[in-house]
């Protein structure tokens, strides 16, 4: 995924993870049904930093997990580390 692809969505929630992040795996499993229940029109994507090294600098993400919400290409929410979905 590129920044241009992110900008193409009206709203997208992105989980930034790493290969060895067990918290990221658990969070991904909880996010999918939570989004389907609460925000069914929201796009969702999981991005592994190892697969998208250029996004590290573009999104200013250097650790995991990080949850980013973009609306019309603009970042409106950032949660990092330990946080509640509620």
Q: How confident is the model at residue 11 (pLDDT cuts 50, 70, 90)?
A: very high
Render 53-74 in DSSP notation, one character per residue. Answer: HHHHHHHT--SS-EEEEEETTE
pLDDT mean across residues, the chain: 91
DSSP code of residue 9: S
Is 65's pLDDT higher than 90?
yes
Q: What is the pTM of this model?
A: 0.90
Domains of the chain: 3-80 (3.40.30.10)
Q: Is 60 exposed, middle or buried (0-12, 13-18, 19+ CB in 10 A)?
A: exposed
């Amino acid at each position: 995924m590129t920044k241009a692809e992110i900008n193409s969505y009206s709203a997208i929630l992105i989980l930034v993870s790493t290969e060895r992040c067990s918290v990221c795996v658990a969070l991904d499993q909880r996010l999918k049904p939570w989004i389907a229940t609460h925000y069914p029109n929201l796009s969702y994507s999981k991005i592994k930093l190892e697969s998208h090294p250029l996004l590290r600098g573009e999104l200013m993400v250097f650790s995991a997990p990080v949850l980013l919400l973009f609306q019309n290409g603009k970042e409106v929410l950032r949660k990092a580390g330990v946080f509640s979905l509620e």
